[in-house]
Amino acid sequence: MPSLQSVISCLSDYDPSALPVAQANRIIADVVEPVSGVEQLAIRSALDRVLAEDVVSPIDVPAHDNSAMDGFAFDSAMLSVAGGSEVALRIVGTALAGDAQALVPGKGETVRIMTGAVMPAGCDTVIPQEFVKVDGDTIRFAADAVRAGDNRRLRGEDLARGKPALAAGRVLRPADLGLLASLGIAEIKVRRRLRVAFFSTGDELRSIGEPLDPGCVYDSNRYTLHGMLRRLNVDLIDMGVVRDDPAALEAAFRTACENADAVITSGGVSVGEADYTKAIMARLGDVTFWKIAMRPGRPMAFGRIGSNGREALLFGLPGNPVAVMVTFYHFVRAALQRMMGADAAPLPLMPVRSASPIRKKPGRTEYQRGILQRGADGQWQVRITGQQGSGVLRSMSEANCFIVLGHEQGSVAAGELVDVMVFEGLV
């Protein structure tokens, strides 16, 4: 892995005290590399896992030309032979799905066919049954009711034998499991799960079940982190709350990096922080402390720490509950996906009208919490959730999207388009 120092030294305009979001992400992407390790899994167990090898289709899917409708199969040459406006064909048999097809209709003949049944030899077109009049063993239909090749699925049109079906790096979704099954593939190779250790720091933090002493807050960051990490399908090592005590912190960092690929902490990375977190992070490895030009989430530590010959990537996130979520989604998520070997596209930003004005200063990226909904005119619009303080976790709970206001962007007028990143995903 390239060292943080070597990556940073290549940047001409590097300023750790006012680092643009895009530059921080570029540094992270340059430092992070996929972990090695592959396992073989039954396809049902591979949901949300990262495919470790290209899958090439061993068969044609479908294996034969077949009918897309219940109807009558025939040779389209007979459409023009008919000359007039009506075609009349004699039924010589029935083709059911799953039958090996032996029928060979001749001139002026047709085969009654069901959806999925193999096309009889010489037939290239199916007229749906609702378009024909059946008269004894003869069907009649208008010649212009169908064109040559209609309602026929071609062999290999879904997946052709020898062609790539899924590429390594794919995070497997429900459709992919079905696709693998359609190829008859029972097991596939996936990357091993990432191990991520996380803990909270701060003397004011109490765990659920403990009395809330004066001046204290319950530790919520470990729970949001738990949820966000679960969504990424990593193995979690929840190390609890670690007190602002040098020995306890050092032991926690060492245990974390000896047992995990990545370590995520929250709190203790602010400027003028009266604790030991930053000093210990710096002592255990190659760590840099950033003030990122963003809101919320300004302070962040990033680097690699080591102990007893084991190394882990470190993300020291801010303490404020919204800042933890924002920095996780906009820095950590992509980095962990990269470590998992996932070839994940950046999440789309969609332009939506802002229902009201939003104040914004150029020179930093803002991630306001938004509610995307249809306005009275039926058009989608977005409004902020209300109080945007980095400690107001309710804003994340109420929101269904981030309103991403770019680095250069200034204030937004009501009705102007803003970029929105939607929380909810179908698959």
Distance (Å) of CA 216 to CA 180, 198, 210, 278: 52, 21, 11, 22
> Residue 297, interface with ligand AMP (CB under 6 A)?
no
Give how many residues touch Mg ion by CB under 5 A: 4
Phi then psi dihedrals of residue 10, to 5 deg: -80, -10
Return the residue of 67, 221, 381, 385 that touches ligand AMP, per CB under 6 A: 221
Of 41, 55, 45, nearest to 189 (Cα)? 41
Among 156, 303, 321, 370, binds ligand AMP (CB under 6 A): 321
157: partner contacted, choices ligand AMP, Mg ion, none (Cβ within 5-8 A by kind): none
Q: Give the one entry of Mg ion, ligand AMP, none that residue 23 binds, where binding means its C-beta sits below a cut-off of 5 to 8 angstroms depending on kind.
A: none
Q: Is 404 in the site for ligand AMP (CB under 6 A)?
A: no
- Contact with ligand AMP (CB under 6 A) among 105, 120, 267, 341: 267
CB of 335 to ligand AMP, least distance (A): 20
| Interface positions, 317-346, toward Mg ion (CB under 5 A) | 319
Residue placing its CB nearer to ligand AMP in the complex, 128 or 319: 319
Count CB atoms within 10 A of the CB of residue 375.
12
- Closest approach, Cβ 259 to ligand AMP, in A, equals 21
Tokens 């403990």 -> residue: 210
Only one of the segments 86-94, 146-154, 167-175, 196-204 lies at the binding site for Mg ion (rule: CB under 5 A); that segment is 196-204
The token pair at 281 is 């992070």
One of 15, 33, 204, 398 touching ligand AMP (CB under 6 A): 204
Q: How many residues bind ligand AMP (CB under 6 A)?
A: 17
Q: How far is the CB of 316 from ligand AMP (least distance, A)?
A: 9
Alpha carbons within 13 A on the beta-carbon side of 422: 11
Contact range with ligand AMP by CB under 6 A, out of 1-9, 14-22, 61-69, 267-275 = 267-275
Choice between 202 and 370, CB closer to Mg ion: 202
Binding mask 249-268 for Mg ion (x = CB under 5 A): ------------------xx
Minimum distance from residue 268 beta carbon to Mg ion (Å) = 5
Tell whether residue 202 is a contact of ligand AMP (CB under 6 A). Answer: yes
110 is in the binding site of which of Mg ion, ligand AMP, none (Cβ under 5 to 8 A by kind)? Answer: none
Task: Name the residues that contact ligand AMP, by CB under 6 A.
Answer: 200, 202, 204-205, 217, 219-221, 266-268, 270, 273, 318-321
- Which spans of this chain sit near Mg ion (rule: CB under 5 A)? 202, 267-268, 319
